[in-house]
Structure 1
């Protein structure tokens, strides 16, 4: 058992060498901060799953439970306005639901395991010479999205009587989750300013440069 442990640790150290010259962004919630040694295992696991370069490791709360999760973002590939990157969800036994175990096909290293990575896509929006990323754009042009985002960023919008103005101050306008248009109905999603605190879905109307928020739905963890 001791020899097996030494072999495993040695393998992790060797695999870390491929990442030693690369830095990556960390975004950890308070209840889920990875130590340097834990990061080494996660990075080795990620490499075995085919992500050769890491852009970001972040952790999150799995509300309404006490569980926490780990997500790893690979390096971005940019083609015009489209950005794509690999994403891998990693489970840490001590942070996840009691009794959780790897599923068939999962790859395990110590108390960490992961399935196969997925691919996530974003759309680049340009407002006042700055770039923003939208998680999804459906049924609406990029130009319309940029116009809407620009008005939100500038605070140039009105809202209906049923919209809580205090809640609007909690929205992170710089990180749109997505834009959707069906018929004349436009929906826009944004996260809360505080990571892990939920998100907002806005039903809006755009008439030229007049932007009105008709309804707002807030998802609270």
Structure 2
């Protein structure tokens, strides 16, 4: 009987989220007023594994849910590379303290204390290599990866030209994070390239461009604001 009690206690301790171990190799990216304590991080990681995220956790981040005042948590698993394609498991986690007062888990979601989540999903991105550095795009359509690398290099070096409609909005270019492309799309002769805003959770930009050889001309800029 005593042996059974000790065995039960041992199993309980193994399942306790306080035994979740992680160190400096876990990346963190927290926005203001949405930072997790070490104990909260352990709870979130334990929840992620319980929801089906494969070990190990690679990154924990928080984000603003504009235009509302609420905030969310994102947990990322380890990247899996297959040629140019990178696949990452992503889990969205809710924190009761950062949502509306009546927020609660939906049917099928798993809760642990004030945190809850559903099932992780897979995010696929494409690796672009530019001068020894790797960048990731969420989508490429109608263009080859090599063409996208050439276009990205022009933007990184800011050697693009501006069309007449862009010159009035030239200041918008200073807000673009050229290291964070979201997608490259070509339909017929029309090419558009997306980039995120330099400020986290502040939307993205869609650039309509003309490509002639290695010359890139920005014809229009559209900004999406959350």
Q: TM-score, normalised by structure 2?
A: 0.89
Establish whether residue 39 from structure 1 lines up as the match of residue 44 from structure 2. no
CA deviations 1:41-79 (Å, max 9, x no partner) are 101001112221111111110000011010111100001
Q: CA deviation at 1:139?
A: 2.0
8 Å contact from structure 2 (residues 18, 39) kept in 1: no
Aligned residues: 212
Q: Which residue of structure 2 aligns with residue 196 of structure 1? A: 201
Structure whose alpha-carbon radius of gyration is higher: 2
Alignment of 1:12-161 (within 5 A): 12-14=17-19, 16=20, 19-20=21-22, 23-51=25-53, 52-161=55-164
Structure 1 counterpart SS, 2:67: coil
RMSD: 1.7
CA deviations 1:72-123 (Å, max 9, x no partner) are 1110000110100100000001102331111111000011000000000010
1:50 and 1:205 mapped to 2: Cα distance?
44
CA deviations 1:149-207 (Å, max 9, x no partner) are 01000111012222211110111101101111111111111111121222111111111
Q: CA deviation at 1:12?
A: 1.0
Unaligned runs of 5+ in 2: 1-11
Structure 2 counterpart SS, 1:131: strand
1:37 and 1:206 mapped to 2: Cα distance?
51
CA deviations 1:4-30 (Å, max 9, x no partner) are xxx79x71113x0xx436721100111
Q: CA deviation at 1:216?
A: 0.7
1:185 and 1:166 mapped to 2: Cα distance?
24
2:25 and 2:211 mapped to 1: Cα distance?
42
Q: Which residue of structure 2 aligns with residue 167 of structure 1? A: 172
